Structure 1
Amino acid sequence: MDLDKLLKLKNLIYLDLSYNGLSLSINNSVNSALTNFDTIGLASCNLSEFPNFLREQVGLRSLDLSNNKIHGEVPKWLFNVGRDSLQNLNISHNFLTSLEHLPWKNLRFIDLHSNLLQGPLPIPSNFTFVFSISNNKVTGEIPTLICNLRWLEVLDLSNNSLSGLIPQCLGNLSLSVLNLGINSFSGTFTSTFTKGNWLRNLNLNGNQIEGQVPRSLLNCEYLEVLDLGKNKINDTFPHWLETLTELQVLVLRFNRFHGQIGTSKTKGKHPFPKLRIIDISCNEFTGLLPTNYIKQFGAMMNVDEHVKFKYMGDTYYQDSVVVVMKGNEIEYSRILTVFSIIDFSRNKFQGEILKSIGRLNSLRGLNLSHNNLKGHIPTSLGNLKNLELLDLSSNKFVGEIPQQLKSLMFLEVLNLSKQPTSRTNSSREPV
């Protein structure tokens, strides 16, 4: 499609050709005299460079050039495009390597994720609501200047090479989402979340964070996703999280958690009333399986499969999680609200599996492998009609395989094997 023909429409102020499978032909040697665009959407239009006609768009408010094939540095002339007016900028999913700074004064929404951006973290304007620069090659520490962004709701810096300490002042922002996963942050996480905060998703997965789980998370009454996996956290099981009534995803895998989980500490209330995904694998938990918790996971029981499928998240950000399913580590970029998993594998749990686990008939995955469990495999597992994965391998079960497992029509992976003696069983071995 020849874009230059559209640029001759002198009264055109709104142009959106995104996601139609178009390949735009642009004559970048010719400047357009059209200067009154308000909105330009050219996402997924097979562009290989920034269109030259943008140079004259001084009053532009929204620009979307995502999902194209634009390479190299962001040109300096782009910094003058809508310098005082631009509110939404999306140049994600390209091959951009450098962005010196973010000079736009009124930027509200900025999405730079999935590029090849290098260098220090650029800081947007103080009026920014959403800032995503995940899946790049950004290095250095988080400047404390970022704590001046008092309107910031979503901050996603995941999958970069950021390091140093996490600024404590981040807990003072009005964040709904704080995703710092897959970086090299170290030290203890000391951010203090005050009462009345709006934090809904906290992801610190894949760093080198030490210490304990901060108790100030008790003030995060809207928290739905807490992912602290793959760090160096040395703590006992944080029972106090059970009072967070909105918590749906809890990932503590591959840390240094230890001790017995025991029973609920909340009297007269159901612990973790909305929890659907819990992964505490690859730690050093001991004692019996936390049956008192398991039998009260109400969100894993009798989910109406006929309800309309929904994904966790909000207008600007959809939640994701990494789980081990069917032998592979899988990232679910969106989490269905009917998706339920229990992974207690690679710990030191003892005792038997009680039949009450059969009440969790909405489970899709159950992994209790690489523990010291014994006794018989309960026949009540046949009640888990939605189960796709059942891994009880490398334990000490005896007796027969229950015939009831034949009724699990969605089961794709069943592992009841014993680990070969030539391989050591270590809870610290990454999966």
Structure 2
Amino acid sequence: MKNVIKKNTKPEYVATLYTYVSIIVAVKGVDLYIPQLSVALTIVDLSHNKFEGGIPYIIGDLKSLTVLNLSHNNLTGRIPHALGKISEIESLDVSWNQLIGEIPQNLADLTFLEFLNLSQNHLVGRIPQGKQFNTFKGNSFGGNPKLCGLPLPNKCGENLQKPQLEGNGDGEEEGNLLTWKEVVLGYGCGALLGIILGYLMLSTGRPKWFNAIVDEAEHMIMKRQNKRR
């Protein structure tokens, strides 16, 4: 698969003695039954396993690869730029894994790529634009909340995780909300403290310090009234 197989005018098929090799494989998102496997049709389908770790860079050396399906595994790490060197690839599916990072820009240069599925990963950043990527729909990139740009509705530069509260855009609404919470809490604590002090005063009688405050207040009132007279 490291050498591009030239397509002859006369088709050649993989056979054992007098029997052609048949196979069922996921090609371009559809389970396809191939009764006679063409020699020129090079496919790697390792989907629905429990593979872990990163995608090997050596896959980029498989120049004649036409279908690569690594979906439904537990692959981690970034999508290697080496995949952009598989010039003959027509179908690439790495969905339902744990891949991170940005989508390599050179994937948009794969001129024969007809099917792409990068959904249900943890990819971030702007989706590459131009060439083949302009033909793919949103379901090719869905399930990656931090991806932005067409064909997804998420615009790059917006906060894709936490929507901002309505207001003037600088957090005024959130600040006002916190202020009202503090005011309500303060009134509640003050009212509770007043009830407790009132109960203690009524049950134990007026303490001396309270009597002194009352006497002083009465003295000041009488003094002001005498001055007016």
Higher strand share: 1
Higher relative contact order (CA 8 A, sep 6+): 2
Higher helix share: 2
Larger Rg: 2
